[in-house]
Amino acid sequence: MVKLDAIQKRLISEIADLHSVPSGAYNFRANSQLAGRNTTANIDIVSKADGSGIEVRIKPGTKNESVHIPVVISETGIKETVYNDFYIGEDADVVIVAGCGIDNCGGQDSEHDGVHRFYVRRGAKVRYVEKHYGSGDGRGKRILNPVTECYMDEDSSMEMEMEQIKGVDSTERTTLAELKSGAKLVVKERLMTHGEQNAVSSYQVNLNGAGATADVVSRSVARDDSSQTFNARITGNAPCSGHTECDSIIMDRGRILAIPSLEANDVDAMLVHEAAIGKIAGDQLIKLMTLGLTEAEAEEQIINGFLR
Amino acid sequence: MLEIKNLSFAVDEADREKEIIHDLSLTVEDGKFIVITGPNGSGKSTLARLIMGIEKPISGQILFDGEDITALDITERAKRGISFAFQQPVRFKGIRVQDLLRLAAGKNLTISAACAYLSEVGLCARDYIDREINPSLSGGELKRIEIATLLARRTRLSVFDEPEAGIDLWSFQNLIRIFEKMRGEIKDSSIVIISHQERILKIADEIVVLADGRISRRGRPDEILPALIGKNAPKSVCEMLQ
């Protein structure tokens, strides 16, 4: 049974596209308390003995199952750090949906720092979706500092989609990945900052085995007086291939610092980085205006498409 | 009906004003298919952009269905029923073909309706509907999608700026077929095409020849074409491919 109030339900629908209790395994956390949990024959969720977080254990060979672990904070002044560990058994193929929504109408800061560690065993496939969302008109800030660590065994694959489009005042995201041979990591990050928000996103991907591949792509929009830093490093320690791309639209008085970097420690490491920052192209606006959109509507369509 | 009255346009070049369009007047009546041609630099594309409001004239007036639209911006002109196909179609990141067609139609478009527009321009809808309008599409593909957006808009006046530029021979054959079809279904709307192409010139109700920002001649194709053949404009397909 999941117990959530109206604000919490709204936050859940924003971060996990959930309008009712999901099928499959889940663990709902609301205002630092467990609000509901379900396990399945193949997926077990247990609280850590010290109360610092949960462990999600997925049996080898589990196919087409999902785990939802949303977190919502609707009280002002909550500060928490949660350590969640995921053990994904050999040849499993699962979807994990995480995300945090903060509604802060009060005067104190609310902060959720989620540290997620993934142990992806040989041949397992994981799709990980993480959305962050903030709302509320209080003076208290909404702060999210997620840490994601991925330890990927041979021939495993992980696809990460991370999205933070609205309402988070401050975020510092750190992602570390260690890949053995044949492992494949794809990261798709979508970020939009507005107001006076600040976002930092750092990646360190280590390609340690032959045939390991990584593709880290970030698309971001900085509006108003917000600032962003994207710092992605791919290190090739074996015959491997890696690509990182940061593509940003800058608007108003926004500031963006992009630092893609590559480190090759093997002659057969093939590494590529790309970074581009620019304002919305004038001819794109003109084209959409010739279809009858106002300049503001055209801008919105261009940004929506860009962050898709 | 489009009425252009005493229109002039200039750009600043090396600290002096260079006039591109000089005191130009032109009327495009409803139900007409007009092709504007002329050598490079004669002001054809500038005139098209002035009609859409992308460029602003230094003097003169543009009237559309009797209303003075000279001071209106691009959006307002589009809403009044003018559409424009770019010589170099614009590319986007993330915006898909179906999104652009939906925006052009100005309403929620069913997938089958969007597909119908793509089929009309000779694109296999299934292969394109979800494609992003990004550099992975060829010039010819972009051009045809651009034309499909005008078909989806179905406005009272459609302006095409050199639709043949940058497309291959196969796409060109298809393009002619599309314009012939549009020509047949024109009713009370009107079409203005900037073109060098003999085959497009041939299907015009009227050809307007521009030189140095002025209209040098205008008339029916049988009056204008014989004098143009063999000159800079128009070019035949074979000449284009040489």
Lowest mean pLDDT across A7-21, A24-38, A122-136, A138-152? A7-21
pLDDT of the residue at B234: 52
pLDDT of the residue at B231: 55
Question: Tens digit of pLDDT for each residue in A257-281?
Answer: 999 999 999 999 999 999 999 999 9
Chain B residues closer than 8 Å to A281 by CB = 90
Contact A288 B103 (CB under 8 A): yes
CATH number at residue B143: 3.40.50.300
Question: Tens digit of pLDDT for each residue in A184-211?
Answer: 999 999 999 988 999 999 999 999 999 9
Distances (CA, A) of A63 to A66, A94, A125, B13: 9, 6, 9, 67
Answer whether B55 touches A (CB < 8 Å): no
Cα A95 from Cα A166, distance rounded (Å): 24
Contact B94 A304 (CB under 8 A): yes
Contact A305 B90 (CB under 8 A): no
Residue A2's pLDDT band, with cuts at 50, 70 and 90, is low
Letter for the amino acid at A104?
Answer: N
Q: What is the DSSP string of A110-161?
A: EEEEEEEEEEE-TT-EEEEEEEEEEE--SSS-EEE--EEEEEE-TT-EEEEE
Chain B residues closer than 8 Å to A307 by CB = 94
Chain B residues closer than 8 Å to A247 by CB = 93
Tokens of A51: 């109360």
Nearest-CA distance from A161 to chain B in Å?
16
Based on the structure, what is the number of domains in chain B?
1
- Cβ atoms of A144 and A135 closer than 8 Å: no
State the best of A192, A290, A294 to mutate against chain B, taking most chain B CBs within 10 Å: A290
> What's the DSSP call for residue B231?
S
Chain B residues closer than 8 Å to A283 by CB = 86, 90
Interface of B with A in 61-90 (CB under 8 A): 73-75, 78-79, 83-84, 86, 89-90
Nearest-CA distance from A249 to chain B in Å?
11
pLDDT of the residue at B135: 87
Contact A291 B153 (CB under 8 A): yes
- Cβ atoms of B28 and B5 closer than 8 Å: no
Mean pLDDT estimate for chain A: 92
Chain A residues closer than 8 Å to B106 by CB = 291-292
The candidate with the shortest Cα–Cα distance to A148, out of A73, A92, A98, is A98
What sign has the CA pseudo-torsion B119, B121, B126, B130? Answer: negative
Q: What is the mean pLDDT of residues A16-25?
A: 75
Range of the structural domain that residue B161 is part of: 2-241
Question: What is the Cα gyration radius of chain B?
Answer: 18
Chain B residues closer than 8 Å to A287 by CB = 86, 89-90
Tokens of A164: 């933070």
Residue A18's pLDDT band, with cuts at 50, 70 and 90, is low
Q: What is the mean pLDDT of residues A49-74?
A: 92
Q: What is the mean pLDDT of residues A289-297?
A: 96
Residue A19's pLDDT band, with cuts at 50, 70 and 90, is low
Q: What is the pLDDT along chain B (242 residues), one digit of tens a residue?
A: 999 999 999 998 888 888 899 999 999 999 999 999 999 889 999 999 999 999 999 999 999 999 999 999 999 999 999 999 999 999 999 899 999 999 999 888 888 888 889 988 888 888 898 999 998 998 888 988 999 999 999 899 999 999 988 777 777 888 888 888 888 887 888 999 999 888 899 999 999 999 999 999 999 999 998 888 765 555 555 555 54
Lowest mean pLDDT across A8-22, A96-110, A139-153, A221-235? A8-22
- Percent of chain A at pLDDT exceeding 70: 98
Q: What is the dihedral of CA A19, A20, A24, A27, to 10 degrees?
A: 90
Decide if pLDDT at A219 tops 90.
yes
Question: What is the Cα gyration radius of chain A?
Answer: 20
> What's the DSSP call for residue A74?
-
State the pTM of this model. Answer: 0.85
Residues 6+ apart with CB under 8 A from B215: B24, B25, B26, B208, B209
Residues 6+ apart with CB under 8 A from A149: A115, A116, A117, A118, A175, A176, A177
pLDDT of the residue at B111: 84
**Which residue of chain B has the CA closest to A287?**
B90
